[in-house]
């Protein structure tokens, strides 16, 4: 009897975690690429004026 209780408890725990993971995957919302001007930002002042900000220009990003 003791073994079946542990096996049932474990199988319920596994089933619950599997259901939770699938809900998390299905209900997660995607982010919008480039929202709020984060993609292809154009520099407006300085030496790099009118260039698109990327890894070559932004030295602080490593």
Domain residue extents for the chain = 2-30, 32-62
pTM metric for this prediction = 0.42
Report the C-alpha gap between 34 and 44 in whole angstroms. 18
More confidently predicted of 31 and 4: 4
Instruction: Supply the pLDDT for residue 19.
Output: 93
Report the C-alpha gap between 11 and 14 in whole angstroms. 5
In the predicted structure, residue 9 carries a pLDDT above the cut 70: yes
pLDDT tens digits, residue range 11-59? 999 999 999 999 888 887 777 766 666 677 788 888 888 888 776 666 6
């Amino acid at each position: 009897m003791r073994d079946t209780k542990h096996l049932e408890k474990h199988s319920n725990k596994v089933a619950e975690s599997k259901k939770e993971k699938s809900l998390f995957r299905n209900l997660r919302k995607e982010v919008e690429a480039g929202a709020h001007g984060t993609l292809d930002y154009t520099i407006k002042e300085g030496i790099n004026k009118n260039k698109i900000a990327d890894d070559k220009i932004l030295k602080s990003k490593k």
